[in-house]
Amino acid sequence: GKSSILHAAPFLAKVVSYMQRHNVPFEHIDAWVPSFVAGDSSTVDGEQPCRLCFAGSATTEVQIPSVNGPPEDLSAEERFNLQSFGDYSQKFSFDVGCGLPGRVYQSGVPTWEQSVHNAPAHHFERCGGAQQWGIKTVVGIPVPSPNVGRIVCVLYSRHDRAKDPEVVSKLRDEFTKLMPSPKWKLVVDVSPAPPTTMIGTEQATTTVTSAAQTTTGTGAGYDAMGPSKDSKEARIDEIVAILGEHMPSDPASPLAEHIPSFMLLRLMLLRASRKEEEEEVVDTILGSYSSYKISGRATSDIAVMLARDFTFLTQSSDFHDAAPSSISFFKAPPADDFLYKNSPALTPINPPDGGGSLADMASIVSN
């Protein structure tokens, strides 16, 4: 299935259900959440800068071809086009005030825009995707959030919809009642990625840079089919060295709780043979390492982030059954943990008996 469907968390599922029950004349919706950027810079009012990041999309099963008309099922081709636009949108992120999500987030005022497929790029930066997949009308709605302050929901239609302030007011009230609370989950994509492009004031980026683009040196370890065995082993050796160098040794250290993950990941990488599920975890860790490395992270930060990634991946599998009984997986980091707050790809890891389901933990946007 399309990856955009996988991002449709409980919040978006409830929104789509409401849209279909009340014949809301839009067929697709996505959500954009603020991701605060670490650094020395700050805004004029002293607030920490942030970007609006894609947080999931969902597509209805019906459409309203004409105003006040009966709903009709979307054809398979129409659903495919809407879901493809969702996949296209997840490659974008917006500075506050830039792009439709960024403008709505900054102003806190809804916007209704028609004929976006014919709009200039500086007005609607995703006009290329709108043209390709038939998006004509877009409505951006700011929605209060209890944990991030505000998110932006954007509705899309393949039809030309006349502005209706009453519909916008009702949707805003209903979305607010759902109290969206964004959560981040680890998503690593190690497939080849297109080069970054700049269109107007909006930056189109891939979720995670391809591992093939992050390798330093001669690049001889790569061919048309992806990384070679030599390149993979070289990266494994690098990770093993980093983990050994930065493994916490002081029991009083704030990072001491990560020792089990450091040990288990390092031992897994050092093994000459691995099970199929272990090999999948290793490949994912290698993709994470390449992404963190190309972003310029310090090796000490990379070591801790890889340990957390490993814990998340093994917690969502059967690895706990095979883990030594003397090793306990760490709990969520404290609220003032700087690295945690500045790693938007990571989410708090609940202990095995925490009571929460994986589906709840993996949700990007939930109520």
Confirm if 262 and 241 have CB atoms less than 8 A apart.
Answer: no
Question: Higher pLDDT residue, 329 or 150?
Answer: 150
Confirm if 171 and 24 have CB atoms less than 8 A apart.
Answer: yes
Tens of pLDDT, residue by residue over 211-268, are 333 333 333 333 433 445 568 888 999 999 999 888 888 877 778 888 888 889 989 8
| Distance of alpha carbon 88 from alpha carbon 91, whole angstroms | 6
Helix H or strand E segment including 94 = strand 92-95
pLDDT of 341 above 60: no
Give the mean pLDDT of 87-110: 92
- 91 secondary structure, DSSP code: T
Alpha carbons within 13 A on the beta-carbon side of 323? 19
| Distance of alpha carbon 323 from alpha carbon 73, whole angstroms | 49
Cα 67 to Cα 8, 139, 348, distances in angstroms: 27, 16, 45
Q: Of 4-18, 56-70, 206-220, 280-294, which range is least confident?
A: 206-220
- How many residues make up the chain in this entry? 367
Tens of pLDDT, residue by residue over 161-186, are 999 999 999 999 999 998 888 776 65
